[in-house]
Amino acid sequence: MTSDTSDRTVLHGISSRAWEHPADRGALVALRKLRGFDMVVRRMSAFVTERAVRLMLLGSAIRVDSHQFSRLFRIYTEAATVLDVEQVPELYVVANPYLNAQTIGLDRPVIVVNSALLYALDDDELRFVLGHELGHVGSGHALYRTILLLLTTLSTTLLSIPLGGLGIRAIMAALTEWSRKSELSGDRAGLLACQDPDAALRVHMKLASGGDASQLNTESFLEQATDYHEDEDIRDLVLRALVVETMSHPFAVARAGELRRWVSSGEYALVVSGSYPRREDDAKANLSAETAAAAASYTDQFAKAEQTIDRALKDLFGGLGSMGSRVTDLFRGPTRPESPAADEGEDNPTPSW
């Protein structure tokens, strides 16, 4: 089936570096340094075969092609063409009422779309979702996401192992942290595939609302995203980290705000205009610069956290100082004004608190 990309710019030879979020790369670097992670990867890779994954899907899902879910196949082909995907993965639809899609597999990943998406999303929104998953494939995320899925499934058994459970728990925590960051990269790839920021925003609105965005307002939704990211109170900073600790995905509202910041920065427009890293240059990529960008992303987060803590401490000690002054004044008692004029007609002036 031919794909119609007349309304979108085909990004010939684009490298995954064009859409990878610095925090994604930073979390992945940290994950790979985790003790025991390499062994878990090898063991899990041997435990699961590509054939087993494919047989499971062939037996329980619908493989998408020009004859089955032809609309979805057309949109998928268009997204793959825009992102110039060299080897397009197989696409499957599973019967599931939740709005979700995933990329699984090791050497030959496949993309699985829940049936609920077909009825909740229009063509441009589906193009964003499929581009998002193709972004995971292009960035090599499928391996680690599959391992996280397996560890989560086997967590009850693995965490019961004496002492070894502590290592597995640490690896799972690091994997979920990376998984949340990788979603930001996937969102950027999805936007490049559909090249419609409004469609991307609608997807996040539908994810947050359960599929119905007809009664939502985009400006209010983005304002909500801004409020979520503000660090006015240290309690919000801590609670935000705690509530997502075990989640594989960031909140939809937070993802919308993050993607809008990428658009506002001008980087998205540069990529669409043709200014982006090419796959042919990946081998010559400046790894130190990539690592520095990843570190800078986390540095910014830590700086914001420090500012929040500093502000909270100042408010705390400022409040205590003000209270101390008031207590001192209380025990000192009322003082009469030095100006004689102020005493006229007032024998007992009221103290100022």
**What secondary structure does DSSP assign to 267-289, as a single string?**
HHHHHHTT-S-BGGGGGG--HHH
Q: Decide if 73 contacts 91 (C-beta within 8 A).
A: yes
Q: pLDDT class for 136, splitting at 50, 70, 90?
A: very high
What's the rounded mean pLDDT across residues 60-77? Answer: 97
Which listed residue (78, 125, 133, 183) is catalytic?
Answer: 133
pTM, entire model: 0.76
Q: Which residue has the tokens 């925003």?
A: 201
Asked if pLDDT for residue 102 goes beyond 80, the answer is yes
Q: What is the pLDDT of residue 235?
A: 54
Q: pLDDT class for 21, splitting at 50, 70, 90?
A: very high
Asked if pLDDT for residue 95 goes beyond 90, the answer is yes
What residues are paired with 297 via a beta bridge?
none
For the chain, give the percent of residues with pLDDT over 70: 71
Q: What is the pLDDT of residue 331?
A: 43
Q: What value does the mean pLDDT of the chain take?
A: 79
Tell me how crowded residue 176 is: count the other CB atoms within 10 A of its CB. Answer: 20
SS3 of 114, please? Answer: strand
What the block records as the tokens of 110 is 């496949």
Does 20 participate in catalysis according to the annotation? no
CA 8/CA 233 separation, integer angstroms: 42
Per-residue pLDDT tens for 312-346?
Answer: 445 444 444 444 444 345 444 554 444 444 444 44
SS3 of 63, please? Answer: strand
